[in-house]
Amino acid sequence: MVGPSVRTAWRLSFCMLVLFGGVAGAYSAEAPARALPPMPTLAPRPITARAVMRGEKNAIVKEFDLVPVARADGGVAFTVKRSDLVPGVMAVEVRSPIATAKKDEAGFALSQRGLVFDFNKDSLVWMAHRGWIYMPYYAMKTPRDTFIAIMEGMRFEHDLFLKAENGDYAMYPSWNIAEIGFPPYEDMTVIFYRLPQEADYNEMAKVYRSYKFAHDPAVRTLKERIKERPELQTLADSIALRQSHASKPWDPKNKTDFTPETEPPIRTHRTYDETLSYLKQLKEAGVENVALCVAGWQTGGYDGRCPATFPLEEGPGGEAGIRRLCEGGRALGYIIDGHSNYTDCFTCSPLWDNGNIACLSPKGTREFNGVWSGGKAYNLCLKNAWETFLPGDLEKISKLGFRGCHYVDVFSAVQPYRCCNPQHPANKKEQMLVQIEVAKRCHELFGGFASECCMDHMLGYVDYINYVCAPMRAKRQAKSPKAYAKQVDRFVPFFELAFHDVVLSNPDKITQEVLDQDHNLLLVEYGGRPIFYGIGKGNFNGVVKAWQQFKGLRHLMTEEMVSHREIAPGVVRVDYANGEAIVVNRSAQPFTVDGVMVPVKDFKLLGKR
Ligand SMILES: [Zn+2]
């Protein structure tokens, strides 16, 4: 446990780091005493890598061998310096001969939350776009090598490729220099960690865990956070509910710039008193711990007039109704906090200011990300928002009575949006630092911070995420066999092996709501926390049932997931740091392990050995 004065000193040194070094890649000797996870056993061997710089039409404009630099943690780093860049360079690749494989070879390629690619194709072009690189790494196991490579520097500016041509596979990052919108602001480094040949995704994830803890002083386990914020234990013990109260209709195809005169009417779906009544019924049904995220309460309803919050929608009950819900929910022992959106901005917002709040592209056009209930959703310049209305807005929201873990949409789901408006320019890293400031303010005002996915620049600040990300759903929903999502062969819990005990999570969009047994087993296997978007008669019994199961597993939410192994065909064993294990049986026969019989299509929690 770290005393307040040490924490203050650490905060100061951390601010200095933010100012001079940034968060990613920074390390402070004055960081509070944290349990730093050990680096798994490595098997260093000589390694080479080359920089390939491409210009117009993908032509190579410069290519050279990079100098290996040994790191104290056993990694071997290769750096392309900004001064290495030549005029006309549009993209920078770092390629190594160890990051290659041939069709039909044993092994796999791995990236993101645990997307596994077998070497089974003659031809493949798969790209993880820089906008959705949740963790900047890739990994491979081939007959010759087992390694994980971690990218440092301009973390939001590189894509990740896995390509196969005539059965020859190659994996590499490519920094998209032409699209930064600013001069390149950091050197580009790839660090290779070579593992013993028998290692697999378990050890790869543990390397990433060790690296992340060592390089980001903000990352701490939930257990360490609970020492300073005991109420976080209640959050970990709770199932997550989210209830919207008012919104305008959402037509994803209607890219309209609404005005206050043309926007559709706002409909109330639920009053705050009705929500409170449901919470009381859940309590009566034995659901002891709930964390409710109240949504659709701002002006314009859910995603209606972002980024404006006030004046509140009166339909669901206005400010008095929110206060009754907060106080009434807390009287039940439940956590009641709110949902905010500081990512989008709409033309019908009272804060629109002739579009001055939106991010501009390098060409001066307004950048947008989709269509939501407020119409065409432009990217909000977070830096400008933070320097103008946002701090006051958060403070006013906190006075409504929300407490626990304030949810800010999207911050951990997509890259921070750069802004080239000369009035308030900010590259993606500068916007990232503002996101962190917003999260820290939420900790001060509400007691915690929550967001959507596992974009790991927020890892040290986010207490729960609604889902890790959604590639499982994407693979299921993709229609074209050539779709990126369809190229993934299978999934493993890489994120959970790295960070299960750092942030509360649910594995994917397909493991939310009321689940059939197949999906329930997936939720259990990945150590997920149940979450429901909306409660009512339709899912009341499902919520109660999920609670009853969760009650027996929730103590694992703050435990490190130590390993994940298939111990027999269709049978998976997941071990936790407290000595317990979960065995999931998807085979057609009952399976007995440690004297415990696991029925078909079921799971068992094994006690400490
Ligand atoms: Zn701006």
236 Cα–ligand 1 center, Å = 36
Residue 577: give its domain's CATH number.
2.60.40
Looking at the structure, tell me whether residues 153 and 244 fall in a common domain: no
392 Cα–ligand 1 center, Å = 19
Average pLDDT for 35-40? 94
Looking at the structure, tell me whether residues 399 and 280 fall in a common domain: yes
398-412 pLDDT, tens per residue? 999 999 999 999 999
463 Cα–ligand 1 center, Å = 28
Looking at the structure, tell me whether residues 153 and 271 fall in a common domain: no
299-334 pLDDT, tens per residue? 999 999 999 999 999 999 999 999 999 999 999 999
CA–CA separation, 48 and 46 (whole Å) = 7
- At 34 the pLDDT is 84
Out of 17-21, 64-68, 85-89, pick the least confident: 17-21
537-575 pLDDT, tens per residue? 999 999 999 999 999 999 999 999 999 999 999 999 999
435 Cα–ligand 1 center, Å = 14
436 Cα–ligand 1 center, Å = 17
Average pLDDT for 228-243? 97
- At 13 the pLDDT is 36
- At 32 the pLDDT is 57
Structure tokens at 454: 């596992």
- At 26 the pLDDT is 38
Looking at the structure, tell me whether residues 209 and 229 fall in a common domain: no
Expressed as residue numbers, the domain containing 150 is 50-215
353 Cα–ligand 1 center, Å = 13
382 Cα–ligand 1 center, Å = 7
Looking at the structure, tell me whether residues 517 and 566 fall in a common domain: no
Length of the chain measured in residues:
609
Query: SS3 letters for 406-426?
Result: EEECCCCCCCCCCECCCCCCE
Looking at the structure, tell me whether residues 349 and 491 fall in a common domain: yes
Average pLDDT for 495-503? 98
- At 31 the pLDDT is 43
Structure tokens at 299: 């002006």
Residue 42: inside a domain, yes or no? no
Residues 157 and 130: beta-carbon distance below 8 Å:
yes
Looking at the structure, tell me whether residues 554 and 567 fall in a common domain: no
344 Cα–ligand 1 center, Å = 13
155 Cα–ligand 1 center, Å = 20
- At 35 the pLDDT is 83
Residues 154 and 82: beta-carbon distance below 8 Å:
no
**In the listed set 215, 232, 265, which residue is the last one of a domain according to the structure?**
215
Confidence of residue 130 (pLDDT cuts 50, 70, 90): very high
79-125 pLDDT, tens per residue? 999 999 999 999 999 999 999 999 999 999 999 999 999 999 999 99
Say if residue 149's pLDDT is above 60: yes
Looking at the structure, tell me whether residues 206 and 242 fall in a common domain: no
Confidence of residue 44 (pLDDT cuts 50, 70, 90): confident
Residue 236: give its domain's CATH number.
3.20.20.80
Looking at the structure, tell me whether residues 163 and 267 fall in a common domain: no
**DSSP three-state, residue 351:** coil
CA–CA separation, 285 and 288 (whole Å) = 9
178 Cα–ligand 1 center, Å = 19
139 Cα–ligand 1 center, Å = 36
Residues 362 and 410: beta-carbon distance below 8 Å:
no
Residue 488: inside a domain, yes or no? yes
Residue 13: inside a domain, yes or no? no
166 Cα–ligand 1 center, Å = 45
Residue 476: inside a domain, yes or no? yes
Residue 15: inside a domain, yes or no? no
Residues 167 and 122: beta-carbon distance below 8 Å:
yes
Q: What mean pLDDT is reported for the chain? A: 94
- At 8 the pLDDT is 34
Looking at the structure, tell me whether residues 138 and 65 fall in a common domain: yes
Say if residue 370's pLDDT is above 60: yes
* Residue owning tokens 């005493």: 33
Residues 242 and 530: beta-carbon distance below 8 Å:
no
- At 609 the pLDDT is 72
**In the listed set 540, 558, 576, which residue is the last one of a domain according to the structure?**
558
Give bridge partners of residue 99 from the DSSP assignment: none
Say if residue 377's pLDDT is above 50: yes
Residues 342 and 353: beta-carbon distance below 8 Å:
no
Residue 429: inside a domain, yes or no? yes
358 Cα–ligand 1 center, Å = 7
For residue 175, what are the CA distances in angstroms to 52, 114, 178, 427? 10, 22, 9, 15
| Number of domains forming the structure of the chain | 3
Say if residue 30's pLDDT is above 60: no
Residue 10: inside a domain, yes or no? no
- At 21 the pLDDT is 35
Around ion ligand 1, which residues have CB less than 5 A away? 381, 384, 419, 421, 424
CB burial of 162-185 (b: ≥16 within 10 Å; e: otherwise) equals: bebeebebbbbbbbbbeebbbebe
Residues 532 and 242: beta-carbon distance below 8 Å:
yes
Say if residue 24's pLDDT is above 80: no
DSSP state of 358: B
Average pLDDT for 570-582? 98
381 Cα–ligand 1 center, Å = 4
- Which residues are within 8 A (CB) of 276 and not within 5 positions of it... i.e. 6 or more apart? 324, 325, 328, 329
Looking at the structure, tell me whether residues 376 and 514 fall in a common domain: yes
422-447 pLDDT, tens per residue? 999 999 999 999 999 999 999 999 99
CA–CA separation, 160 and 171 (whole Å) = 8
**In the listed set 180, 215, 250, which residue is the last one of a domain according to the structure?**
215
Angle at 106 between CA 100 and CA 108, to 5 degrees: 60
Residue 204: inside a domain, yes or no? yes
562 Cα–ligand 1 center, Å = 43
Looking at the structure, tell me whether residues 175 and 246 fall in a common domain: no
- At 186 the pLDDT is 98
Say if residue 202's pLDDT is above 50: yes
